[in-house]
Structure 1
Amino acid sequence: MGRLFMAIGDSFTEGVGDWEPRLPNGVRGWADRVAKQLSKADPEWQYVNLGIRSRRLKSVIEEQIPVALELKPEVITFYAGGNDILEFRKDMKQFLGQYEQAVDALVSTGAKVLLFTGFDIPVHPVLAPFKRRNWRFNECVRQLAELYPDSVVLVDYWNWEVYRDKRMWDIDKLHMNRAGHRYMAIRILEILGYPHQLVFDPFGAADRVGFWQATQRDLEWLRQWVLPMFGRRMRGITLGDELRPRWPEPMYPAKGMKKQFRKRPKSEEPRHLRNFEIR
């Protein structure tokens, strides 16, 4: 197999927030953008993206990491754990131990492995207790990057001030929007030292929102996004239950990603996505 870029993880990797009905699962995301730029520099690059929204670390380890061990990519991006952190009862010591084992397995492939810290999103006080878990997770990620200096590349997303701008986030406030995904792709390509043609357009002036309007928006956000999310968790269901990985087999981005998706049989797409009902 030639050069292979593999992205594994959850909604962050899948591309949620960067909505695009002409691509698998109705999203595009930073990983597709990175893959496309790699292919422009070298058409022999292949790409696999196994990320599925709402996946916990255990599922990523069981479903996705074995594929990486088999295919042995040149570059692997790995982000998982955000959904675990948001669970009400979570043994963080056990969780971080599983994460460390996952990284060790990925490093054993000989690939360059990109690890991501989780961004410290300014959230409503209702979610504030979960932020401390994120801080602990980030410290673990940084320590692993120091442990494997020759194999692991740290993408310290937590330190990037640009993501403190609300215009980098989708309406749910938990996923990057198109601007956020584009900027992430640019930074990853720069960190890896690969050439690219992506441009990040600076924002215009931000909208000013008064106290009462901001409060109303927060209440609407809680009603539309936070409460349904925790409701699904209590029922044991997720938004990714019916989804397949977006690019489960090695494909050549240079041959056109939208073109290749159009050739897929409609039967391969989950029923609720066939009419692009992606949210």
Structure 2
Amino acid sequence: MTQQHPWSRYVAIGDSFTEGIGDPEPRSKGGHRGWADRVAETLGESSPDFAYANLAIRGRLLQQIIDEQLEAALLLRPDVITVSAGGNDIIRPSTDPDEVARRVETLVTGLRSDGATVVLFTGPDIGMTPVLGRVRGKVAIYNENLRAIAQRHDAIIADMWAMRELKDPRMWAADRLHFSPIGHHMIARMVLAALNVENDLAPYAPEPLPHPTWRQARVDDIGWAREHLVPWVVRRIRHQSSGDNVLPKRPDAGSARLADD
């Protein structure tokens, strides 16, 4: 049973992480569920008038989130807002994590202007990933900036870096960039814990993974590069985004329940 909490109107903003990519679910609006939907569903259990909107769109850079989602979020008059932004900027080779964090602070200042509770995400520890592991140091610097921003603006930190369970490959989707349904479930539990909301979401109790042979690991890496890495690089070269022509899946605040609940 989810305990009572003080919030009645939740808005989520961000990119593919918050949209729920990696967690396909036909009963969810937009066809993806994700951690934010799961958090909203849980918060709604103890509040019959609870309303939820999700403005996140895959591929969005920080400035796009500021330009497209900040004002729209405030117009919905939320009392709790989650924001995960800047990750797509940080993984680009020319970005400065301090400069990205300065723009995040502008975003957080705007989101806090009406007194809403703001939840801010650190980036996960990606040291074990084959490509993104190269920017692990930048993510760590960015995270320290985010902690300072949260302290200055009385925001809540949802600490992805501290989630050691995310080192389990089963937490990640096939593209190794987004989270699997299990990963989204565990992140939802973490967010609810950060909000100090007790809930019934089950902890993850994995069976031990078999150790792959060197040959099988290389075959998997080649298949991943061909199916996921190369298309991602091509989109960068062409200045295309996976979110081109995509609209928010929940632009209006409404029930968080799945379609057939």
Q: Residue deviations 1:152-199, cap 9 Å, x none?
A: 011111011111111111111111101111111112112212242211
SS state at 1:87 partner: coil
The residue aligned with 1:6 is 11
Q: Distance in 1 between matches of 2:108 and 2:205?
A: 35
**Any residues of structure 2 matched to 1:26-175 within 5 Å, and which?**
26-121=31-126, 122-124=128-130, 126-148=131-153, 151-175=154-178
Deviation at 1:200, TM superposition (A): 2.6
Q: Residue deviations 1:63-86, cap 9 Å, x none?
A: 111022223311100001111112
**Structure with the larger helix share:** 1
Contact 2:101–2:146 (8 Å) recurs in 1: no
Contact 1:25–1:243 (8 Å) recurs in 2: no
Q: Distance in 2 between matches of 1:31 and 1:44?
A: 18
Q: Distance in 2 between matches of 1:131 and 1:25?
A: 31
Deviation at 1:247, TM superposition (A): 0.7
Deviation at 1:31, TM superposition (A): 0.8
The residue aligned with 2:258 is 257
TM-score (norm. length: structure 2): 0.91
Root-mean-square deviation over aligned CA pairs: 1.7
Q: Distance in 2 between matches of 1:154 and 1:127?
A: 22
Distance 1:108 1:162, change over 3 A: same
Instruction: Confirm or deny that 1:15 pairs with 2:16.
Output: no
Unaligned runs of 5+ in 1: 261-279
Q: Distance in 2 between matches of 1:47 and 1:127?
A: 32
- What percentage of residue pairs aligned between the two structures are identical? 38
130-139 or 59-68: bigger deviation: 130-139
Which one-letter code corresponds to 1:208 in the other structure? Answer: H
Contact 1:72–1:110 (8 Å) recurs in 2: no
Which one-letter code corresponds to 1:25 in the other structure? Answer: G
Q: Distance in 2 between matches of 1:91 and 1:184?
A: 27
Q: Distance in 1 between matches of 2:190 and 2:140?
A: 22
87-96 or 239-248: bigger deviation: 87-96
Q: Distance in 2 between matches of 1:146 and 1:77?
A: 16
Q: Distance in 1 between matches of 2:28 and 2:42?
A: 17
Number of residue pairs matched?
Answer: 254
Q: Residue deviations 1:37-57, cap 9 Å, x none?
A: 111111111001011111110
Deviation at 1:140, TM superposition (A): 1.0
Deviation at 1:258, TM superposition (A): 1.5
Q: After TM superposition, what 4+ stretches of structure 1 lie above 6 angstroms from structure 2?
A: none
Q: Distance in 1 between matches of 2:186 and 2:16?
A: 17
54-63 or 66-75: bigger deviation: 66-75
